Amino acid sequence: MPIERSSAGDPARTLELLWRVPADAPRRGPRQRLSVDAIVAVATGLADAEGLDAVTMRRVAERLGVAPMTPYTYVPGKAELLDLMLDAAYAGMRRADTSGQPWRARLTAVAEENRSLFERHSWVATISTSRPPLGPGMMAKYEHELSALEGLGLDDVEMDAALTYLLTFVQANARSAAEARAARQASAMDEEQWWAANAPLLERVLDPERYPTAARVGTSAGTAHGAAYSPGHAYAFGLSRVLDGLAVLIAGRDERNGTEPR
């Protein structure tokens, strides 16, 4: 299945749309009754309810009650629409004021804000943003999140890398959580029901003497989580490890600069 990615459309037109730059030439014909914002809102609703595959210009037109080609007079195509949807999702994020708090608390807040974003709009976690949409929502998000790393002795490249490191972890966890939800829905069974259905066969074929470590650890984890995988536990454990790793980097900069860790 092809990977959706941002900034795949016409760069100049996309930036004009993201920043709502008026077209140079006035449009001819009857006065337009739609708006870019209305199209983005409908497309976002479709993605939230049915996933990105459901977002087509035709489906958007149907929801808006207009002719199939009408959305194209506002947005060139799905690639540009995807960037608009992403930027709108970024603009709508809740952003806590953590000024004055320790750096771990600030970065934890950033992680939680992104986790909440992925929970509200699970499709966002599936998009590759190696070329991010450089709209006002994205820039406000980036500015806010970098403030959590300001004043820690990191240089600009390290600040960007540290933020990427944190957000990549949160996105990967969100994808795994979405996959776990999809598996439950597809099988019509929760984790406990799934294991109960498969346990008899596993007991017949799985030899704990051949796989002693796997059997011991897998049993312990499954008992602790009630499942083979717990997205919540993976998030809490992984976030602590990410912050521990950044603590080493920050402490090294503090030693170099002769300052106390913040």
Say yes or no: 105 and 220 in one domain.
Answer: yes
Is the Cβ–Cβ distance between 54 and 47 less than 8 Å? yes
pLDDT at 241 over 60: yes
* Residue 5 falls inside a structural domain: no
Q: How far apart are CA 85 and CA 46, in angstroms?
A: 11
* Residue 135 falls inside a structural domain: yes
- Between 84 and 30, residue with greater pLDDT: 84
Conformational region of residue 65, where left means phi above 0, alpha means psi within -120 to 50, and beta covers everything else: left
- Burial grade of 45 (CB within 10 A; 0-12, 13-18, 19 or more): middle
User: Which H or E element spans position 164?
Assistant: helix 156-187
Q: HSE-up of 17 (CA within 13 Å, CB side)?
A: 30
Residues 6+ apart with CB under 8 A from 218: 228
Q: Show which of 90, 106, 121 is a domain's final residue.
A: 90
Tokens of 65: 């009650």
Say yes or no: 137 and 54 in one domain.
Answer: no
Check residue 255 and give its pLDDT. Answer: 66
Q: How many domains does the chain have?
A: 2
Q: Show which of 46, 68, 90 is a domain's final residue.
A: 90
- Among the listed residues 60, 73, 65, the one whose alpha carbon sits nearest the alpha carbon of residue 30: 73
Check residue 2 and give its pLDDT. Answer: 65
* Residue 220 falls inside a structural domain: yes
Q: What domain range includes position 196?
A: 96-257
- Between 165 and 218, residue with greater pLDDT: 165
Q: Show which of 40, 58, 90 is a domain's final residue.
A: 90
* Residue 262 falls inside a structural domain: no
- Per-residue pLDDT of 2-33, as tens digits, reads 689 999 999 999 999 999 998 765 555 445 68
Say yes or no: 128 and 32 in one domain.
Answer: no
Tokens of 207: 């030899």
Q: How far apart are CA 201 and CA 187, in angstroms?
A: 17
CATH number, domain at 61? Answer: 1.10.10.60
Q: pLDDT tier at 157 (50, 70, 90 boundaries)?
A: very high
128 phi, psi to nearest 5 deg: -80, 125
Say yes or no: 197 and 101 in one domain.
Answer: yes
* Residue 3 falls inside a structural domain: no
CATH number, domain at 230? Answer: 1.10.357.10
Could you tell me the end-to-end alpha-carbon distance of the chain, in angstroms, rounded to an integer?
45
pLDDT at 115 over 70: yes
Check residue 258 and give its pLDDT. Answer: 62
